[in-house]
Amino acid sequence: MINFKQEIAKEIAKATNLNEKELENYIEIPPDSNMGDYAFPCFKLAKELRKAPPMIANDIKGIIKLDSNLIEKMDVVGGYLNFYINKKALIKEVLEEMNKKKEEFGSSTIGEGKNIVIDYSAPNIAKPFHIGHLRSTVIGGALYNIYNFLGYHSIGINHLGDYGTQFGKLIEAYKRWGTEYDIDNNPIDELTKMYIRINQLCKEDEDVLNACRDNFKKLEDGDPYCTELWENFRKVSLEEFKKVYELLGSKFDSWNGEAFYSDKMGEVVELLEKTGKLIESEGARIIPLDDKNMAPCIIGKTNGSTTYATRDLAAILYRARTYDFYKALYVTSYEQILHFSQVFEVAKLLGLDPKYTDNLYHVPFGMVQLKNGKVSTREGNIIKLEDLLNESISRAKEIIEEKNPNLENKEDVAKKVGIGAIIFNDLSNSRIKDEIFDWDTILNFNGETGPYVQYIYVRTKSVLDKAGYLPKIEEIDFDLISDKESIAILKLLYSFGDVVKQAADKNEPSIISRFLIDLSQAFSSFYNEHHIIVDDKKVQDARLYLTYCVGTVLKTGAKLLGISMPDRM
Ligand code: ARG
C-alpha cells in the first residue's frame, strides 16, 4: 500500500533539508479527522528558523508539491500544517490490498529471520492454575501471534514452576500426611490443601521449615524418593493445566520449566565466580547490586540450594545459545519487576554477546482483582481458572439461550463467546493496569467487549450471506463508498498494519483490542446509516465489499488476540 505519511515526509524533506526519517516521526495523526489525516507540527522548527510556527507552516505549504491524487488538500491551523488524503486513493489502496492479501491484510515481513523468545503462562506445579496466570497466558499468547504476523519467528516457552523450595514443602507434607489426601483423584485441590497446611506448620515451627529446605536440597541432589514424588506431582499437575490450555487454545514450543535447568546452574556459578563479583554474605552467595540501587541477587542459599534467579540466569544462557534470539520477553505480573531487573543486570556478567543481554524485556502486567479481593494460593482464597472458563461458557450459553434459542451449534458458539469474552477482557486495557474481574462487564454484548466484536463480525457475515455473493473488485465503483461512515472505516482498515506493529513495539496487545472496538463501532455507524442490500446493484457491490473487508480484519485481529469468531450467534 502507498505509505501516505512517507510521501508527505519525502516532500517536506525536499522543501526543508530536514531528514526524511525524522520527519516521519514528527508527523502526527490528528485526534479529530476534521483537522486532516496527518499533521506536521512546526513548533520544533521555530527556534532554529526564528519564525513563528504558523508562518513556517505557511511557507512549507507554499513550496511543497504533493500529488493531488494522493493528498487532496493542505491547510494551516495554528502551528500545524494539515494534510488530507485523497479519498479515492485511500479506497483504492485498501480494497486492492485486501483483494491481494485477504486474511493476511496487515501482515508484514519486517521480522524475517529474527527469533522472539516469549516466556509466558508458567504456572506452578502442584498449585492451581489460577486467574493470575490467565493474564500471562493470554498476553503472551497474543504477543506470540502478533510477532509471527509481522514475520518474526516466535518461540513460546512455558517456564513451569516445577522446582524450588515449595517442592521441599510438598514432600514434607506428603511424608507426614500423604495417606490422608486423595491425590490421585483430585490432585491439584488435594496438593493445595497439603501445601496450605504445611505452610501453616512452617510458620509455627522452624524445624519443619528446615526439614522442607532439606527435602529440596535432597531433590536437587537426586535422591530417588524425593525425585519420584516430584515427578508424580509434576505429571498430575500438567494433566490439569492442559485442560485449561485446551479451553484457551494455548500452544507452546517448549515446556522446559525450572527443573530443566537443575544441571545447568553450575556453569552460571562458575561464570559469575570468574568475575570476582560473587561474594559470600551471611552464608549465602550473592551478587551485590548496590550500584544499581537494587537489593542483591541471591545466587545460592545458605544451605547450598539454588534459587529462582539462578535458574533464570541458566535459562538466559540456554535460550541465547539455542534460539539466538533477537528479543526475549518475560510476561509476568509486576510483582516480579525487581526479580527481572536483578536477573537482567547479573546476566550482563555471563559473558554473552550484548546483543542478547541488551534485549531481555520484562513485560509486566497488573493484578487481577475479583470483586471480593486478591487471588492467592497461600491464603487459600482460590479461583481455579478451569472453573472460571467453564463458568464463562455456561453464562454465555444462558445469554444465547435467551437471545437466540434456535441457534445451531449452541455449544460451540457458547465456547467461542465465553472464552473470547475472558480473553478480550484481559487484553482490553493497557496491561500494566490492575483489572477488576466482573462478569457483567465481560459478557456485555453492547459494551467494549469480546462478545460485541464477535457480534459485529457475525453481522458482517450475515449481510454477505444474505447477498449470497462477494463482488469482484474490478466491478466496484470506488466513488460509492466515499461517504463519511465508509471513509471512517477505510481509514481504520488502512491503519491496521501500523496498529499491529505498534502492539509489537510496545508489547501491548490492548492496542489491537482498542482497534477492534473502534472498527466495530465504525461499522455499526455505517450499518445504521446505510442500507447494504439495496436495489442499486453498484451501490450494493461497493458496500458489500466494504463489509467483507471489515469482517476479514475483525477476524484477523481477533485471531491475533487468540479469539475465535463464531459464524453466527
Ligand atoms: N512460575 C512463575 C510464577 O508463577 C513465573 C515464571 C516466569 N518466568 C520466568 N522465567 N521466571 O510466578
Q: What is the CATH number of the domain that holds 34?
A: 3.30.1360.70
Residue 21 is assigned to a structural domain of this protein: yes
Nearest C-alpha to atom 5 of ligand 1 is from which residue? Answer: 122
Give yes or no for a contact between 568 and 412, defined as CB atoms under 8 angstroms apart.
no
pLDDT greater than 90 at residue 18: no
Nearest C-alpha to atom 11 of ligand 1 is from which residue? Answer: 312
The active-site residue, picked from 5, 92, 133, 461, is 133
Q: What is the pLDDT of residues 78-120, one digit of tens each?
A: 999 999 999 999 999 999 999 999 999 999 999 999 999 999 9
Q: What is the pLDDT of residues 480-529, one digit of tens each?
A: 999 999 999 999 999 999 999 999 999 999 999 999 999 999 999 999 99
Q: What are phi and psi of 25, to 5 degrees?
A: -70, -30
Give yes or no for a contact between 41 and 25, defined as CB atoms under 8 angstroms apart.
no
pLDDT greater than 60 at residue 127: yes
Residue 382: predicted pLDDT:
60
| Cα–Cα distance, 440 to 453 (Å, whole number) | 16
Residue 214: predicted pLDDT:
92
Give the mean pLDDT of 523-550: 98
Residue 107 CB burial class (10 angstroms; 0-12, 13-18, ≥19): middle
pLDDT greater than 50 at residue 215: yes
Residue 372: predicted pLDDT:
61
Residue 66 is assigned to a structural domain of this protein: yes
Where are the alpha helices (H) located in 102-153, listed in sequence order?
A: 131-149
Nearest C-alpha to atom 6 of ligand 1 is from which residue? Answer: 122
Residue 501: predicted pLDDT:
97
Give the mean pLDDT of 345-363: 98
pLDDT greater than 70 at residue 368: yes
Residue 34 is assigned to a structural domain of this protein: yes
Nearest C-alpha to atom 4 of ligand 1 is from which residue? Answer: 123
Beta strands in 357-414, from DSSP E residues, in sequence order = 360-365, 368-370, 373-374
Q: What are phi and psi of 29, to 5 degrees?
A: -105, 115
- Catalytic site includes residue 133: yes
Q: How confident is the model at residue 187 (pLDDT cuts 50, 70, 90)?
A: confident
Nearest C-alpha to atom 1 of ligand 1 is from which residue? Answer: 161
pLDDT greater than 80 at residue 370: no
pTM of the predicted model as reported, rounded to 2 decimal places: 0.94
Nearest C-alpha to atom 9 of ligand 1 is from which residue? Answer: 159
Residue 265: predicted pLDDT:
94
Residue 10: predicted pLDDT:
94
- Catalytic site includes residue 243: no
pLDDT greater than 60 at residue 377: no
| Residue type, position 494, single letter | Y
Q: How far apart are the CA of 343 and the centre of ligand 1, in A?
A: 13
DSSP 367: P
Residue 340 is assigned to a structural domain of this protein: no
Q: How far apart are the CA of 34 and the centre of ligand 1, in A?
A: 47
The pick from 125, 258, 332, 346 for probing ligand 1's pocket by mutation, whose C-beta has the most ligand atoms within 8 angstroms, reads 332
Name the strand (E) or helix (H) holding 81.
strand 80-85
Which residue segment(s) compose the domain that 32 sits in?
4-85
Residue 45 is assigned to a structural domain of this protein: yes
Ligand 1: lining residues by beta carbon, under 6 Å: 119, 122, 124, 159, 161, 312, 315, 330, 332
pLDDT greater than 90 at residue 375: no
What SS3 class is residue 106? Answer: coil
Give the mean pLDDT of 371-397: 73
Q: How confident is the model at residue 198 (pLDDT cuts 50, 70, 90)?
A: very high
Q: How far apart are the CA of 129 and the centre of ligand 1, in A?
A: 13
Q: What is the pLDDT of residues 147-168, one digit of tens each?
A: 999 999 999 999 999 998 889 9
Average pLDDT score over the chain: 94
Provide, rounded to the nearest whole percent, the portion of the chain with pLDDT above 70.
98
The pick from 336, 338, 346, 377 for probing ligand 1's pocket by mutation, whose C-beta has the most ligand atoms within 8 angstroms, reads 336
- Which atom of ligand 1 lies nearest, measured to the CA of 332? 7
Give the mean pLDDT of 63-69: 91
Q: How far apart are the CA of 228 and the centre of ligand 1, in A?
A: 23
pLDDT greater than 70 at residue 12: yes
Q: How far apart are the CA of 124 and the centre of ligand 1, in A?
A: 8
Q: How confident is the model at residue 47 (pLDDT cuts 50, 70, 90)?
A: confident
How many domains in the chain? 1
Residue 308 is assigned to a structural domain of this protein: no
pLDDT greater than 90 at residue 547: yes
Residue 74: predicted pLDDT:
96
How many Cβ atoms from other residues are within 10 Å of residue 156's Cβ?
21
Residue 395 is assigned to a structural domain of this protein: no
Higher pLDDT, residue 372 or 418 = 418
Residue 297: predicted pLDDT:
98
Q: Give the count of alpha carbons within 13 A of 441, CB side only.
A: 12
Give the total residue count for the chain: 569
| Cα–Cα distance, 174 to 27 (Å, whole number) | 64
- Catalytic site includes residue 130: yes
The active-site residue, picked from 92, 130, 159, 415, is 130
Residue 303 is assigned to a structural domain of this protein: no
Least confident span in 186-195, 458-467, 517-526: 186-195
Q: How far apart are the CA of 304 and the centre of ligand 1, in A?
A: 22
Residue 376: predicted pLDDT:
45
Q: What is the pLDDT of residues 430-443, one digit of tens each?
A: 999 998 888 889 99
Provide, rounded to the nearest whole percent, the portion of the chain with pLDDT above 90.
86
Q: How far apart are the CA of 122 and the centre of ligand 1, in A?
A: 5
pLDDT greater than 60 at residue 380: no
Residue 379: predicted pLDDT:
47
